[in-house]
Amino acid sequence: MLSKLFKNKPDYPWQPKYTYNVDGMFWRIVISEGGYIVCELRNPEKKTTWFDCIDEQTGEPLWQGLTLEEPWWIGIEDVTKDWLFLHGFQKPDMPQHSSIVAVDIKTGKEVWRNNEVVFVAAREDKLYASKEGFEARKFLLLNPGDGSIIKELGTDPAEVNDLREALNQERAFAGYRYPEGFSKAHPDYGRLKELVAEIAPQEKVFGNLDTLVVDDAVLLAWHQAADGSSAEQPLLDQHFAAIEIASKSVLYRDIIHSKVQAPSFDSFFVKGNRVMYIKEHHILTTHELPVRG
């Protein structure tokens, strides 16, 4: 039985390739085409924000602790192979973005900023922005290296919309895979239902049970009641597990969020040849594929 395997196999064979620990919370991570992971990190109590950049393959930092004058109302807009674009906000507590800050992704140095334009889209050699006019918003094509205007595009968003569509298509095939809820509609429901029921019995699962079949293994993430949970104070643990389908061997299992009051929306994802997830909000964890015992 799987439950016995959990008890008898504390040192699981499919250990993380690396972990990256931070003092604050991971707010967002974005992976560049050049193989760098840019991390947006925050301390909600102190209302501070900073950015780190690590190598996707090794987890080694390229640079750490990038801050701007504004300590909280900033965020990642997008990344390309060479550039990280940050944004501000028009007003606190309002979602509208303002300004563009361009950072060299390899050094973490600010290269230029423009407080009069707003980011629209970017690819390696093109940066599209917009600027409010007296009658309508105007679109601009900028040089991503220095922010200079290459071309004024007028008020017609056609070219920008075409670029956005092209970027969406490119990123759809960029090696990302995400889990899906396990139900009778799942393509592998028939062959996995007994295996999944052993590791995560339906009566114990709170909310969705995320699954992703990778090669000969299935990756699972789900919430269940934590130790000490009660009707008066319900607490949940989010579990992650990797199971070899044929042998039913547990290759890895861990609690990735402990004693939370509500289910986490995110669990894990696959990018290229690695599985990634954030543990306890402050530990980026990666496993290398294929899943092996």
The pLDDT value recorded for residue 1 is 37
Q: Is residue 1 part of a domain?
A: no
Q: How far apart are CA 251 and CA 269, in angstroms?
A: 17
For residue 57 the two structure tokens come to: 């393959």
| CATH code for position 54 | 2.40.128.630
Strand partners, 48: 43
What's the alpha-carbon Rg for the chain, to the nearest Å? 22
Residues 29 and 153 in one domain: yes
Whether residue 262 lies inside any domain: the answer is yes
Q: Distances from the Cα of 43 to the Cαs of 1, 26, 174, in angstroms? A: 42, 9, 31
Residues 132 and 185 in one domain: no
Domain boundary among 151, 176, 201: 176
- Looking at the fold, whether 201 and 233 belong to one and the same domain comes out as yes
pLDDT score of 7: 37
Q: Are residues 187 and 209 in the same domain?
A: yes
Burial string for 216-243 (b: 16+ CB within 10 Å, else e) reads ebbbbbbbbebeebeeeeeebbbbbbbb
pLDDT tens by residue, 119-175: 999 987 889 999 987 778 899 999 999 999 999 999 888 878 888 888 777 776 678
Locus of tokens 């919430």: 223
| Model pLDDT, residue 216 | 95
For residue range 15-54, what is the model confidence (pLDDT) as tens digits? Answer: 999 999 999 999 999 999 899 999 999 999 999 999 999 9
Share the mean pLDDT of the chain. Answer: 92
Query: Is position 5 within any domain?
Result: no
Q: What is the mean pLDDT of residues 102-128?
A: 94
> Which domain, by its residues, includes 77?
22-176
Residue 204 pLDDT > 70: yes
**Cα–Cα distance measured from residue 63 to residue 39, given in angstroms and rounded to the nearest whole number:** 11
Residue 2 lies in a domain: no
pTM of the model: 0.91
**Regarding predicted confidence, which is higher, 119 or 266?**
119
Q: Indicate the residue type of 69.
A: E
Q: In terms of domains, do 183 and 256 share one?
A: yes
Domain boundary among 122, 156, 176: 176
| pLDDT value at 214 more than 70 | yes
26 and 119 belong to one structural domain: yes
What's the pLDDT band for 10 if we cut at 50, 70, 90?
low
Last residue of a domain, one of 176, 201, 225: 176
- In this structure, is residue 59 part of a structural domain? yes
Domain count, the chain: 2
